[in-house]
């Protein structure tokens, strides 16, 4: 069944049908022309034969009508009847003779014998008698399906019309011959069509066989197999097509191999890129996205395939229409949420076709969160350093101008106070510059830790003892230290600086009558030091920022107490350099706890 359907849809059947139709049309045109000409020729011959007999009959009737009659001789009606019966035949079915008075003189029809001697009213007879018109027509009888040649002609004698002749002749013999000829012609046509169909099958197979082979090979090529070639059966157009098809096969094989190699290279490049790549079509819909881009935007390729780039990247804050991307070479897109800050830099380039028309966009995404954060911190750092240096310098300038203005420097009560302020501000600037230098060395790794094996509990005891001696009245320090030896591999001076900074801050922000608690505990392979005060505390939204450089919870009070805003930042750098961690816990109006962890030394080093 499938083969039959395939045959009816094949070009082979079309070739056969076209071949038969061309032959059939040619035969029909020739047959129609031949039948028409034959019909005309037969009718002309038949009419000419009847006309010859009509002329002879007309001549005899003329003699009979113009002759003088003897009393004992035959009558005119008898002569006329004798003459017309001599001309009666199979073709001539009826002969009627009428005199000049419209009276029927004789007829060969058995059905019209009763009309002999009566006057006729036929118009064609009257026209022949009155005007001398000769009429010749073919009359078709639909009841019996016969055609009859009807001739009416005047009978003249010595230039006068003495009567009229009406003759009817059946021409069915002519059409019977035409039917026989058409039947023979139709049989010949059917035979010719049958032979032509067989020849058409052979010719069509000769033509379509190479085409079918190329069709099969094209299907094989569609699967990616270019190893086979079609057979060339000749040097005609079909053979040249087969040669061209084989050349196309080779070129496609080469192009496919080149494309596949380039695709693998491109796939490898896209897969190993750290930047995200997104490609779109000319409508701005996504058609390609690599894995880094999927991670950056937080969506898989199957989720965003076919979606507009403007929607996926949220670019409507930067552009209103897709065409505006061409003028937007790069932009920063904020993908931050409540849990994570994420800034992406998007660089755009336009695909162009051979007519230099836009054919799509290529977007390269880079995570610039850290870069932007560093740049923001750098700007804030410069602003903070400028502000921190400007404040003491402005104060020193004001007091120095006051001393140099007039005789203020000679005043024994005012001058020492002014000089004391200038000295304090100078020391504050020196502390700030020293802290900055220390941070700069840490950032550039331009410092060395002088680590040594240190018994940590005794080390903490000494520091707390030193603070107890100089603690201001109204404050107290409580110790919670384990009664055991623990050793840490550390730089004692740097850790001392960390603890001094933490305890100093606790003392600064503790209220009168407050207590500072120093606690040391061991957690697995680490030793944890906690310093807790009973100060005003730190709001939750600011607790993670206190280790940033120049960050102050209460800026006015910190400057009043002489802080630089760098102490905890330095402490964080020192602790991390010792492979430890530092963190803060606080509740508003209840106090703050600063804790840091340091790794313990293994026992084999003890």
Closest C-alpha among 583, 582, 586 to residue 495 = 582
Question: Which secondary structure element, helix H or strand E, spans residue 526, and what is its range?
Answer: strand 526-532
Residues 6+ apart with CB under 8 A from 11: 204, 208, 211
Is residue 305 in a domain? yes
In a shared domain, residues 347 and 378: no
Q: Give per-residue pLDDT as tens, 345-386.
A: 888 888 777 777 777 888 888 877 777 777 776 676 666 666
What are the residues facing 592 on neighbouring strands? 586
Rounded Cα gap, residues 455 and 489, in angstroms: 9
pLDDT value of residue 4: 55
In 223-368, which residue ranges form alpha helices assigned H by DSSP?
237-272, 291-297, 301-304, 309-313
pLDDT(27) > 70: yes
CB 164 within 8 A of CB 125: yes
In a shared domain, residues 322 and 406: no
pLDDT(461) > 50: yes
pLDDT(497) > 80: yes
In a shared domain, residues 136 and 91: yes
In a shared domain, residues 54 and 151: yes
Rounded Cα gap, residues 296 and 305, in angstroms: 16
Output DSSP code: residue 118.
Answer: S
Helix, strand, coil distribution of the chain in percent, nearest 5? 55, 20, 25
pLDDT value of residue 526: 92
Tokens of 292: 């880094």
In a shared domain, residues 463 and 560: yes
Rounded Cα gap, residues 269 and 288, in angstroms: 14
Maximum alpha-carbon separation in the chain: 202
pLDDT > 70 in the chain, percent: 84
Least confident of 264-268, 332-336, 411-415, 597-601: 411-415
Placement of tokens 């100089």 in the chain: 470
In a shared domain, residues 332 and 456: no
CB 421 within 8 A of CB 402: no
**Span 64-88, mean pLDDT?**
72
Predicted TM-score (pTM) of the model is 0.42
Q: Give per-residue pLDDT as tens, 91-132.
A: 788 888 888 888 888 888 777 777 777 888 788 888 888 888
Question: Which secondary structure element, helix H or strand E, spans residue 397, and what is its range?
Answer: helix 369-404
Is residue 190 in a domain? no
Indicate the residue among 443, 461, 482 that finishes a domain.
443
In a shared domain, residues 433 and 350: no
Placement of tokens 């954060």 in the chain: 373
CB 453 within 8 A of CB 601: yes
Q: Give the CATH number of the domain where residue 296 resides.
A: 3.30.450.20
Rounded Cα gap, residues 34 and 182, in angstroms: 10
pLDDT(473) > 80: no
Rounded Cα gap, residues 129 and 153, in angstroms: 8
Tokens of 215: 């069709």
Among 58-62, 255-259, 486-490, the range with the most confident prediction by mean pLDDT is: 486-490
Indicate the residue among 316, 343, 367 that finishes a domain.
367
Rounded Cα gap, residues 9 and 7, in angstroms: 5
pLDDT value of residue 455: 92
For residue 549, the enclosing domain spans 452-605
In a shared domain, residues 303 and 344: yes
Extended beta strands in 270-409, E state = 276-280, 286-289, 330-334, 343-352, 358-367
CB 553 within 8 A of CB 544: no
Rounded Cα gap, residues 507 and 394, in angstroms: 28
Indicate the residue among 443, 473, 495 that finishes a domain.
443
In a shared domain, residues 477 and 594: yes
In a shared domain, residues 314 and 377: no
Is residue 255 in a domain? no
Is residue 328 in a domain? yes
Q: Give the CATH number of the domain where residue 381 resides.
A: 1.10.287.130
Is residue 188 in a domain? no
pLDDT value of residue 551: 66
Q: Give per-residue pLDDT as tens, 387-419.
A: 666 767 777 777 777 777 766 666 667 777 777
How is 203-252 classified by DSSP, letter by letter?
Answer: HHHHHHHHHHHHHHHHHHHHTT-----PPP--SSHHHHHHHHHHHHHHHH
Per DSSP bridges, beta strands 591-599 and 476-480 are unpaired
pLDDT value of residue 440: 66
Q: Give the CATH number of the domain where residue 524 resides.
A: 3.30.565.10
Q: Give per-residue pLDDT as tens, 271-298.
A: 777 788 888 887 878 888 888 888 888 8
Mean pLDDT of the chain: 78
- The C-alpha angle 465, 469, 474, rounded to 5 degrees, equals 115
Tokens of 58: 């007309």
In a shared domain, residues 329 and 394: no
**What is the number of domains present in the chain?**
4
In a shared domain, residues 351 and 499: no
Is residue 268 in a domain? no
Is residue 38 in a domain? yes
CB 270 within 8 A of CB 359: no
Of the pLDDT bands very low, low, confident and very high (cuts 50, 70, 90), residue 510 is confident
Is residue 205 in a domain? no
**Span 340-348, mean pLDDT?**
80
Extended beta strands in 459-602, E state = 476-480, 487-490, 515-523, 526-532, 581-587, 591-599
């Amino acid at each position: 069944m499938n083969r039959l359907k395939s045959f009816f849809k094949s070009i082979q059947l079309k070739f056969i049908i076209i071949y038969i139709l061309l032959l059939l049309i040619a035969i029909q045109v020739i047959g129609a022309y031949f039948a028409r000409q034959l019909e005309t020729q037969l009718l002309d011959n038949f009419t000419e034969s009847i006309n010859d007999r009509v002329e002879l009959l007309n001549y005899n009737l003329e003699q009979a009508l113009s002759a003088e009659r003897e009393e004992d001789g035959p009558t005119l009606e008898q002569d006329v009847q004798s003459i017309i019966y001599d001309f009666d035949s199979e073709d001539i079915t009826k002969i009627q003779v009428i005199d000049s008075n419209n009276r029927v003189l004789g007829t060969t029809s058995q059905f019209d014998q009763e009309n002999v001697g009566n006057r006729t009213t036929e118009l064609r007879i009257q026209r022949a008698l009155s005007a001398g018109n000769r009429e010749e027509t073919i009359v078709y009888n639909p009841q019996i399906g016969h055609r009859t040649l009807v001739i009416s002609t005047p009978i003249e004698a010595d230039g006068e019309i003495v009567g009229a002749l009406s003759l009817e002749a059946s021409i069915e013999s002519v059409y019977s011959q035409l039917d026989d000829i058409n039947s023979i012609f139709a049989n010949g046509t059917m035979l010719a069509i049958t032979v032509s169909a067989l020849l058409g099958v052979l010719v069509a197979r000769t033509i379509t066989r190479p085409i079918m082979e190329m069709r099969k090979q094209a299907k094989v090529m569609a699967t990616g197999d270019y190893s086979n070639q079609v057979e060339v059966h000749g040097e005609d157009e079909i053979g040249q097509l087969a040669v061209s098809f084989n050349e196309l096969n080779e070129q496609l094989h080469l192009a496919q191999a080149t494309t596949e190699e380039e695709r693998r290279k491109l796939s490898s490049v896209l897969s190993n890129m750290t930047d995200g790549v997104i490609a779109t079509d000319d409508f701005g819909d996504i058609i390609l996205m690599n894995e880094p881009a999927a991670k950056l935007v937080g969506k898989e390729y199957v989720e965003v395939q076919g979606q507009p780039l403007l929607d996926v990247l949220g670019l409507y804050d930067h552009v209103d229409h897709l065409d505006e991307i061409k003028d937007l070479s790069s932009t920063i897109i904020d993908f931050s949420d409540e849990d994570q800050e994420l800034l992406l830099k998007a660089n755009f380039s336009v695909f162009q076709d051979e007519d230099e028309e836009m054919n799509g966009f290529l977007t390269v995404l880079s995570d610039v969160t850290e870069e932007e954060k560093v740049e923001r911190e750098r700007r804030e750092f410069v602003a903070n350093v400028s502000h921190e240096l400007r404040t003491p310098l402005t104060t020193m300038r004001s007091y120095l101008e006051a001393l140099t203005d007039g005789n203020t420097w000679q005043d024994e009560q005012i001058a020492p106070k002014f000089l004391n302020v200038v000295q304090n501000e100078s020391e504050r600037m020196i502390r700030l510059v020293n802290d900055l230098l220390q941070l700069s060395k840490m950032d550039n790794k331009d410092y060395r830790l002088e680590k040594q094996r240190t018994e940590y509990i005794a080390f903490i005891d000494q520091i707390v003892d030193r603070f107890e001696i100089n603690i201001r009245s109204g404050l107290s320090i409580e110790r919670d230290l384990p009664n055991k030896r623990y050793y840490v591999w550390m730089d004692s001076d740097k850790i001392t600086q960390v603890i001094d900074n933490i305890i100093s801050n606790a003392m600064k922000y503790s209220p009168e009558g407050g207590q500072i608690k120093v606690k040391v505990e061991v957690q697995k392979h680490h030793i944890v030091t906690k310093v807790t005060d009973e100060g005003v505390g730190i709001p939750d939204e600011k607790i993670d920022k206190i280790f940033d450089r120049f960050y102050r919870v209460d800026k006015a009070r910190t400057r009043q107490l002489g802080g630089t805003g760098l102490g905890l930042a330095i402490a964080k750098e020192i602790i991390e350099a010792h492979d430890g961690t530092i963190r803060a816990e606080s509740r508003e109006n209840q106090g703050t706890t600063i804790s840091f962890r340091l790794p313990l030394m293994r026992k084999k080093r003890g």
